[in-house]
Amino acid sequence: MDLENIKEILEKDEDEAVSDVLSTVEERYGEVPYILNFMKDMPELLIPKVMYDNSIMREFERLDPETIELICVGVASALRCDHCLKMHIRVARRLGLTREQIFDAILIGGALSNASVLAEGTRALDDEGNGNSPSCDSDCDSCNITGSDR
């Protein structure tokens, strides 16, 4: 969305701006995502959100729409956002992506989600196992747990 389009939208009355923005979203996705329908009575939130999202996800010339949707599928999988995941799977299918391509994105999202859990958990285990206690005062009952308290 270029600056001229943004200016045009901002100069419209709220109802017309919301209608135009949601029409553009529906053209791109083939549907209007739930959250945007939910926000349609809040133009002061909806319009900037759609403009921001659009500038990041739809205006790139470096990534094609199929790649962007596969990223969306992977991230929605990793975040375990069922609603986003289902919608982006539908969009990916409309773009002609195969079940296998979509599954690959889900696998990548799952692998990164798993790696995140492992990275956080093992770092916490190492920190606590090496005696690296949090920096709070010595009278903190939570920090002064001994082996017999576990």
pLDDT of residue 66: 95
pLDDT higher than 50, residue 150? no
Same domain, 45 and 96: no
**Residue 70 near residue 88 (C-beta atoms within 8 A):** no
- Give the count of domains, the chain: 2
Highest-pLDDT range among 10-14, 43-47, 88-92: 88-92
Same domain, 2 and 46: yes
Same domain, 2 and 21: yes
Take residue 16 and report the two structure tokens written for it: 């017309």
Same domain, 9 and 26: yes
Euclidean distance between CA atoms 54 and 69, whole angstroms: 13
Residue at 92 is within a domain? yes
pLDDT higher than 90, residue 123? yes
